Structure 1
Amino acid sequence: MKTTLDELQVFAAVVDTGSITAAAERLGQTVSGVSRGLSRLEEKLATTLLRRTTRRLELTEEGAVLLQRARLIIDAVDEAEEALALRQQQPAGRLRVDTAAPFMLHVVVPLVAGFRARHPQVELELHTSDLITDLLEHRTDVALRIGSLRDSTLHARPLGTSRLRVLASPAYLARAGRPTIRTLARHSLLGFNQPESLNHWPLRHDGGERLHIRPSLLASSGETLRQLALAGEGLACLSDFMTAGDRACGALVPVLARDTVEVRQPVNAVYYRNTALAARIRCFLDYLSSQIRDGWQ
């Protein structure tokens, strides 16, 4: 498009006020700036919009046609800005959220009812993926990530941390006995098939404070490992956000507590950098952050 909104606003202001000088005062611009803007618009459209006399400005036929359209465009932009301003006061619209299945099930889903009651005009669309997805490709507004971040093109907002613990069910411990660092390798160890870094458990041993284990049963999802641990299939290293209820009721109990190093996984909300964070994203993150602070940390 050749014509800019600024040029249309200059043109309309000149017509409305009747002079370039008055238009400059209304727009907070210099007289020369308004004059140049008007001339530039006429050059772009290759037509005369206003006939200038010593006493007044008179619309040409072409100018009258453009003025009618220009007012519609200016009004539409004003309405759009008002609508956006209203959304900032009352968040609205679709919000696409992506996170790993365990975090969705144990943290996000229990908070959905409270969030929707507070912000009924925000339409949540929840996606789960245990792999890091491309936010643009999947049209994701905000992703919730557990662990360290690598993508520098994203803006990150810390939401909290979640501690790692080695856990087992009472049924497994009754059958296999409680492990020690030395006997750990003889136990059924539940681990991840990827990434391999998740199989470095926070256990103090002769070689340091992270023990690399060789799982006897592997899974791609932390929720799968949790269910296996609950079923008495072995020991698992899991994050507090997904086991708080299990530990509270005794379905899973910590093991090797004296040998466990306190390691906390960062929890971040990530979204693409922009100058103004949409209200629907901001209110969701504010709500999530406040609930996490009062929850499983």
Structure 2
Amino acid sequence: MKARSDELQVFVSVIESGSISAAAEQMNQTPSAISRTLSRLENKLDTTLINRTTRRMDLTEEGKFFLERARQILAQMEDLEERLSLRQQTPSGRLRINAAFPFVLHSIVPYVAEFRALYPEIQLELNSNDVIIDLLEQSTDVAIRIGDLADSTLHARSLGTSPLNILASPEYLKKHGTPRTVDDLNGHALLGFTQTETLNHWPLRHADGEQFLIRPTVAASSGETLRHLALAGEGIVCLSHFMTHEDIRQGRLEVVLPDANNGYRQPIHAVYYRNSQLALRIQCFLDFIQQKLLRYAA
């Protein structure tokens, strides 16, 4: 026979309370019942856990070993019960999400109806910002950030990754030709960012390295603006798959130089302050959106 959780609880209670009588009072049992449970546990384990005399109790070496692991098991069981209890609760309240406009538009808005149907008591508040914000100052519960994180004061949960693709419209490629090598890009109109220099390092392998630094023909601060410029046939752009997968699927944009792509994937994180308790409404949203982002895993 194997030890049961109630027997582990009795054993731990006796040690932590200091006596069988104190454990009996704590657990609303008789001292004789506690004593019988201890004896039954020792018989099952075929070892002595506690040396008991009329004056004192001392843990044996086996008892010390067993106590540590019994506490771990009971803690894990308590944690499991709490998690199951949380799942049965109804998440509710205002949920304030901040993310760059392209992420809100392409990775949250399409799923709002489904999320609201699942969690009708949560009031979503979506705010867009293409720069890093102060979560407290902006009264934000959680922010979605694309790219590598640098702020150590925040707790982060990975939601997945999204590849970067070099893209152009069929109309642009028909008019100006399709680049066959990375060096061919020098003869094309290139669409890039104005503020974040690292975003103008495209993930392309070439003779001088694993990244190709462009000098934008047209620059913009927003990825969504660059997407619309590319759709309008104004040039070649490097954008994340989360905001262009539908354009690619419907043929509005075509992937350029796929064989030269070094395979870099942009990390996607949810960030919030470490000293704040992660509310159930936030957990529900992050679990939900993480499942939706799995489409970018391929």
Shorter-chain TM-score above 0.5 = yes
Over 3 Å counting, the alpha-carbon distance change for 1:212 and 1:287 in structure 2 is same
Q: Is the CA contact (8 Å cut-off) linking 2:189 and 2:234 kept in structure 1?
A: yes
The TM-score, its normalising length taken from structure 2, stands at: 0.69
- Structure 2 unpaired stretches of 5+: 1-24, 27-84
User: Using the alignment, how far apart are the partners of 2:275 and 2:91 within structure 1?
Assistant: 17
The aligned residue for residue 248 of structure 1 is 249
C-alpha displacement of 1:86: 8.6
Over 3 Å counting, the alpha-carbon distance change for 1:218 and 1:88 in structure 2 is farther
Residues 9-65 of structure 1: CA distance to partner in whole angstroms, max 9, x if unpaired?
A: xxxxxxxxxxxxxxxx99xxxxxxxxxxxxxxxxxxxxxxxxxxxxxxxxxxxxxxx
For residue 168 of structure 1, what is the amino acid of its counterpart? A
Residues 80-116 of structure 1: CA distance to partner in whole angstroms, max 9, x if unpaired?
A: xxxxx99981111111000000000000101111111
The TM-score, its normalising length taken from structure 1, stands at: 0.69
Q: Is the CA contact (8 Å cut-off) linking 1:88 and 1:278 kept in structure 2?
A: no
How do 1:1-297 residues align onto structure 2 when only pairs under 5 Å count? 89-179=89-179, 180-274=181-275, 276-294=277-295, 297=298
Residues 145-196 of structure 1: CA distance to partner in whole angstroms, max 9, x if unpaired?
A: 0001111111100001000010000100011111132221110000000101
% identical aligned pairs: 58
Task: Determine which structure has more spread, i.e. the larger CA radius of gyration.
Answer: 1
Q: Is the CA contact (8 Å cut-off) linking 1:241 and 1:296 kept in structure 2?
A: no
Q: Which moved more, 1:137-146 or 1:274-283?
A: 274-283
For residue 213 of structure 2, what is the amino acid of its counterpart? H
Q: Is the CA contact (8 Å cut-off) linking 2:162 and 2:296 kept in structure 1?
A: no
C-alpha displacement of 1:274: 3.2
Q: Is the CA contact (8 Å cut-off) linking 1:240 and 1:296 kept in structure 2?
A: no
C-alpha displacement of 1:273: 1.1
C-alpha displacement of 1:292: 1.5
C-alpha displacement of 1:275: 6.2
- 3-state DSSP class of the match of 2:183? coil
Give the RMSD, CA atoms, in angstroms: 2.0
List structure 1 runs of 4+ shifted beyond 2 angstroms. 85-88, 294-297
Over 3 Å counting, the alpha-carbon distance change for 1:162 and 1:94 in structure 2 is same
